[in-house]
Amino acid sequence: MKVLLIITHGSMGGAGIMVLDLARGLKAQGVDVTVGFGKGEYLERRLNELGIPRVRFASLARSRNIFSIPLFVLEIRKFLKKNRFDAVQFNSSNTLAGCFGAKLSGTGVRTVFTIHGLSVLDRHYASPFLKLPYWAYFKVFLPFADEIVFVSQDNLREARLTGLTRRGRVIYNGMDPTALTYWTKEKARAELETITGQSFANAYLIGSIGRLSYQKNYSFLIRTLPQILSIQPTIRCVLIGEGKKRALYERLIKKYRLESICFLAGGLEDAARLLKAFDLFVLPSRYEGLPITLVECLFADVPMLVTDVNGNKEIVEKENRYKMDDTKDFIQKFSGIVSRPQVTGYESLKSKFMFEKMTHAYTSLFKKP
């Protein structure tokens, strides 16, 4: 069986990690797998290490430019006419139109579209102006997907309730414990100390890994830090990631005089190996699909405090979730966490997110009924 996996950008990120893991799992099963993407060097380098073929699509980019849609449709149609595959799996909204291009190729290729999160269409997304064009885009192109996959039950329920689609199934993103390499707490902290130029020897270290974006909502965490300090005076915060909101976060850190408390470490490859540096991982997202970073925290046995939204609820127990942008609830939950020993191990939860389950589920979808 020949399978093509397509993602918009070949950079680090939850969807990219999932595609890389899926490609590795399919190859191990004897599937002839190729990965396609636009720009980005991370995936290319990792795929080379694994000996997995890759292809670049010039029209694929993180963009809201509507003219890129027909360009990608034509590019994927031409590619599939020349290169026959049994199935193509598309990841992220920018690739959805490729399902139409695949059908135009006339090759009978099976199309699978994975929704890693509803993004602009999510009920927690603030601006209503982008929802209509995104809604129209999804309604036009989703019918060309033979199978629709959601990564969280919450997203599937919302899609059905809003009429976005009546079809779909959930396949959780999975982790392979044998392939995970987490540094010890001491080594991970030493690395963060080198990056930030600070000492965390006696600190209660909180932090997060993710793009500095509207979605991740790190402005809430920064604004709440002064109150957290009154509860835990040794608190230090490190945010690992890069993005458009960096300048805003730098201004907030300066405004609240947190220059010696909160640090922006920038984007780091394989950042998950540093998770054990944190006493508490915090994810204040406005919306999510199923965050890969939280699954990684499960397997690293790192305590978490996250917003009570979307797929977060399917990973993190209720006592470690708070209402989005609710400072009082956050502080209450944080106080409870620091005052009691955190139970980790998460063995019952880990079983939901195993690598083998994800790989076998997708393999069954790629086979024609």
Q: What is the pLDDT of residue 345?
A: 56
| Neighbouring C-beta atoms of residue 134, cutoff 10 Å | 17
Bridge partner residues of 35 (DSSP) = 5, 54
Position 187 scores a pLDDT of 98
Domain boundaries, the chain: 2-174+354-366, 177-351
- Model confidence pLDDT, tens digit, residues 327-364: 999 999 999 999 876 666 577 788 899 999 999 999 99
Contact 271, 296 (CB under 8 A): no
Residues of the chain with pLDDT under 70: 126, 341-345
pLDDT of residue 179: 82
Q: How high is the pLDDT of residue 349?
A: 83
DSSP string, 142-209: GGG-SEEEES-HHHHHHHHHTTS-S--EE----B-GGG--PPPHHHHHHHHHHHHT---TT-EEEEEE
The count of other CB atoms within 10 Å of the CB of residue 325 is: 16
The reply to whether CATH 3.40.50.2000 applies to domain 177-351 is yes
2-174+354-366 matches 177-351 in fold: yes
Q: What is the SS3 assignment for 227?
A: helix
Cα–Cα distances (Å) from 141 to 85, 103, 236, in that order, read 20, 11, 46
Beta bridge partners of 209: 240
pLDDT of 262 reads 98
Q: Report which residue type is found at 264.
A: L
DSSP state of 36: E
**Segment 80-104, tens digit of pLDDT:** 999 999 999 999 899 999 999 999 9
Q: What are phi and psi of 175, to 5 degrees?
A: -115, 145
Whether the Cβ atoms of residue 3 and residue 89 lie closer than 8 Å to each other: yes
Sheet of 32-37: strand order equals 54-56, 32-37, 2-7, 87-91, 110-115, 147-150, 169-170
| Rounded Cα distance, 240 and 208, in Å | 6
CA R_g for the chain:
21
**Cα separation, 83 vs 288, whole angstroms:** 35
What pLDDT is stored for residue 365 in this prediction?
A: 95
- Which residue in 129, 19, 151, 117 sits closest to 64, CA to CA? 129
Q: What is the CATH number of domain 2-174+354-366?
A: 3.40.50.2000
CA distance 307 to 320: 9
Contact 295, 315 (CB under 8 A): yes
Q: Please, are residues 6 and 57 in contact by the beta-carbon 8 Å criterion?
A: yes
3-state class (DSSP) for residue 126: coil
- Based on the number of CB atoms within 10 Å of its own CB, is 363 exposed (0-12), middle (13-18) or buried (19 or more)? middle
Q: How high is the pLDDT of residue 56?
A: 96
pLDDT at 198: 96
Which pLDDT score, from 0 to 100, does residue 343 have? 61
Specify the pLDDT at position 105.
98
Distance CA 12, CA 10 (A): 7
Assessment of whether the complete model's pTM goes beyond 0.85: yes
